[in-house]
């Protein structure tokens, strides 16, 4: 009897455990379930500052998957744009984003967002709030790329651009920025993760890629929530970079200054530098820089602290207006000197602007001191902003012209 009873209780226990497991699966089940076609994938985010209401205006581009599938790109005038643009205002970024829910039938999913565009007014106001939102949000990725619109066009106007080659503006902008960075070194590439690190580090300021929006039609700038193909109003062009102090925009570098900063920081990739022809006056030669490296040293004797930046660059002959004899060592040396001078002037102009105009250490000299000469940093660090503006930076460039390209004599033959 007792044996049977014990059997009975073990069987009941086993049944109870099985029931609990089953209930755990069922009750917690489907908790996070979101069918893929019922969510709005955010493809781009633009943040503007509305000076009238003192509000933050958030514009979000949400992908319309069904429109992508139907071959919208290049579909002519009948094509439907493969995304939906929606706008909301709020006191903070998250407040504004929350307002979006009132308008969007599909909950916004941020995991696939790759770009955030800041309007100039908002950036001057400080982008800290936006960065805070993007880093604290569970779905948003740290690889989101921040961009700044130069000029007084609203950032959301970036969503009214369209590239013939890429139907999604955020994608097109990103790819263009990447090409400008890697092929010409005239802009910077960064993401929220790097920006966050820079903001948390003393002695370095951030530099974000900047572009302008140029109107393509007189009635540009109309914006009515949803965008039709006819409302394409702007084209985007990268024009250098935006200089920040802390999280506030202080000014812009043009293309040359941006590249000057890239030489100093050592992240310049390839570049095209145009120099005067050494023999034919008024003619130009373009040189294709292939690789470069830099070395920074710090000196603290005599006339106060100073940095020396030595850049090594290798280049090829790109093209020339007039004949160049590659066997003439004199021409070769003069070209190299001219390249050195061009690079050096770019560096100097970037340094001048950063030190005198913006007093923003976008080169990370302070961080260099903090890493390499902590004792100096302990002395200079507390008021680095003033020190940076006055610190002496010597630059020197050693350029090597590696070769004439694929052909020896080329099309410009001296007769």
Partner 1 sequence: MSVFVSREISENEISIKSAFGYSTDLVVRIIRSGENPRFSVLIAHIDGLVDKDLVARSIIRPIGMKDTATIEMPPSPAYIYDDLRNRLLESSEVKEATRMADVLLHISSGDCAVIVEGVDSALICSVRSWMTRTPENPTTEPAIKGPKEGFTETIRVNTSLLRRRIRDPRLWIEETVVGEVSKTDIAIVYLKGIANEKVLQEVRERIGRVKVDSLQESGQLEELIEDAPWSLFATVLTTERPDKVAGSLFEGRVAILVDGSPTALVVPATFLQFLMATEDYYQRFTASWFIRLVRGVAFLVALALPSVYVAITTYHQEMLPTPLVLSIAAQREGVPFPAAIEALTMIFFLEVLLEGGVRLPTAVGSAISIVGALILGQAAVEAGLFSAAMVIIVALTAIASFTIPLFSLSNTVRILRIVLTIVSGFLGLFGVAAVLFGLFIHLAAMRSFGIPYFEPLAPVVLPDLKDAITRAPWWAMKQRPELIAHDNVVRIGDDQKPTPPRSPQKPSPAGTVGQQRSSQQKQQKGNASNPDEQQSSSDQRPSSLGPATQKERQPRSRRKSRR
> How far is CA 184 from each of CA 10, 42, 206, 294, 408, rounded to the nearest angstrom?
75, 30, 20, 17, 25
Q: How far is the CB of 68 from partner 1 (least distance, A)?
A: 5
Binding to partner 1 by residue 26, rule CB under 8 A? yes
Determine the 3-state secondary structure of 258 from DSSP.
helix
* Burial class (CB within 10 angstroms; exposed 0-12, middle 13-18, buried 19+) of 316: middle
Rule CB under 8 A: choose which of 9, 69, 77, 383 binds partner 1.
69
Q: How far is the CB of 76 from partner 1 (least distance, A)?
A: 20
Binding to partner 1 by residue 29, rule CB under 8 A? yes
Instruction: Fill in the per-residue mask, 251 to 280: x = in contact with partner 1 (CB under 8 A), - = not in contact.
Output: ------------------------------
Q: At what angle do helices 192-200 and 128-136 cross, to 10 degrees?
A: 120
Tokens 């993760």, located at residue: 193
* Burial class (CB within 10 angstroms; exposed 0-12, middle 13-18, buried 19+) of 303: exposed
Rule CB under 8 A: choose which of 18, 23, 53, 65 binds partner 1.
65
Determine the 3-state secondary structure of 81 from DSSP.
coil
Site for partner 1 in 138-177 (CB under 8 A): 139, 141
Instruction: Fill in the per-residue mask, 101 to 120: x = in contact with partner 1 (CB under 8 A), - = not in contact.
Output: --------x-xx-x------
Q: How far is the CB of 112 from partner 1 (least distance, A)?
A: 5
Nearer to partner 1, 65 or 403 (CB): 65
- Contacting range for partner 1; rule: CB under 8 A; set: 62-70, 157-165, 245-253, 262-270: 62-70
Torsion on CA atoms 142, 292, 263, 127, rounded to nearest 10: -10
Q: How far is the CB of 70 from partner 1 (least distance, A)?
A: 8
Q: How far is the CB of 23 from partner 1 (least distance, A)?
A: 12
Nearer to partner 1, 167 or 260 (CB): 167
Q: How far is the CB of 31 from partner 1 (least distance, A)?
A: 9
Q: CA 289: distance to chain centroid?
A: 22
Nearer to partner 1, 43 or 180 (CB): 43
Contact 86, 62 (CB under 8 A): yes
Tell me how far apart the alpha carbons of residues 56 and 46 are, in angstroms, rounded to a whole number: 10
Give the DSSP H/E element, type plus range, for residue 60: strand 55-63
Instruction: Fill in the per-residue mask, 331 to 370: x = in contact with partner 1 (CB under 8 A), - = not in contact.
Output: ----------------------------------------
Nearer to partner 1, 25 or 406 (CB): 25
Nearer to partner 1, 41 or 332 (CB): 41
66: number of Cβ within 10 Å: 11
Rule CB under 8 A: choose which of 25, 406, 407, 411 binds partner 1.
25
Please give the biggest Cα pair distance in the chain: 119
Tell me how far apart the alpha carbons of residues 351 and 258 are, in angstroms, rounded to a whole number: 10
What is the SS3 string spanning 344-358? HHHHHHHHHHHHHHH
Binding to partner 1 by residue 33, rule CB under 8 A? yes
Which two tokens mark 280? 């034919």
Rule CB under 8 A: choose which of 28, 77, 200, 383 binds partner 1.
28
Rule CB under 8 A: choose which of 12, 34, 183, 295 binds partner 1.
34
Residue ranges that bind partner 1, judged by CB under 8 A: 25-26, 28-30, 32-37, 39, 41, 43, 63, 65-66, 68-69, 109, 111-112, 114, 139, 141
């Amino acid at each position: 009897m007792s044996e049977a009873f014990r059997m009975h209780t073990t069987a009941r226990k086993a049944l109870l455990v099985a029931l609990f497991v089953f209930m755990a699966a069922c009750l917690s089940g489907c908790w996070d379930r979101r069918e893929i076609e019922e969510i709005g994938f955010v493809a781009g985010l633009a943040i503007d500052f509305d000076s009238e209401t003192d509000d933050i205006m958030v514009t979000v581009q949400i992908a319309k998957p069904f429109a992508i599938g139907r071959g919208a790109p290049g579909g002519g005038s009948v094509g439907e744009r493969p995304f939906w643009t929606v706008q909301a205002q709020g006191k903070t970024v998250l407040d504004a984003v929350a307002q979006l829910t009132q308008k969007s039938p599909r909950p916004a999913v941020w995991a696939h967002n790759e770009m955030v565009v800041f309007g100039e007014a908002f950036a001057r106001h400080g982008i800290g709030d936006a960065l805070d939102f993007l880093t604290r949000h569970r779905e948003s990725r740290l690889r989101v790329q921040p961009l700044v619109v130069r000029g007084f066009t609203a950032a959301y106007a970036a969503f009214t651009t369209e590239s013939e080659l890429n139907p999604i503006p955020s994608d097109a902008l990103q790819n263009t920025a990447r090409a400008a960075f890697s092929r010409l070194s005239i802009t910077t590439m960064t993401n929220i993760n790097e920006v966050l690190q820079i903001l948390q580090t003393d002695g370095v300021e951030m530099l974000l890629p900047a572009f302008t929006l140029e109107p393509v039609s007189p009635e540009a700038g109309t914006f009515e929530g949803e965008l039709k193909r006819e409302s394409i109003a702007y084209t985007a062009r990268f024009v250098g970079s935006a200089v920040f102090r802390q999280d506030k925009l202080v000014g812009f570098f043009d293309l040359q200054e941006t590249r000057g900063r890239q030489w100093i920081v050592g992240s310049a990739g390839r570049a095209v530098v145009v120099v005067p022809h050494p023999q034919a006056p008024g003619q130009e030669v373009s040189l294709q820089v292939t690789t470069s490296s830099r070395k920074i040293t710090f000196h603290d004797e005599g006339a106060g602290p100073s940095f020396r930046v030595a850049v090594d660059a290798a280049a090829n002959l790109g093209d020339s207006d007039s004949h160049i004899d590659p066997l003439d060592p004199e021409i070769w040396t003069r070209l190299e000197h001219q390249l050195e001078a061009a690079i050096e002037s770019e560096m100097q102009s970037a340094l001048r602007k950063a030190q005198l105009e913006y007093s923003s250490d976008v080169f990370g000299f302070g961080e260099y001191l903090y890493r390499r000469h902590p004792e100096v940093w302990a002395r200079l660090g507390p008021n680095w902003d003033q020190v940076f503006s006055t610190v002496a930076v010597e630059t020197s460039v050693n350029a090597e012209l590696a070769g004439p390209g694929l052909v020896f004599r080329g099309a410009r033959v001296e007769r």
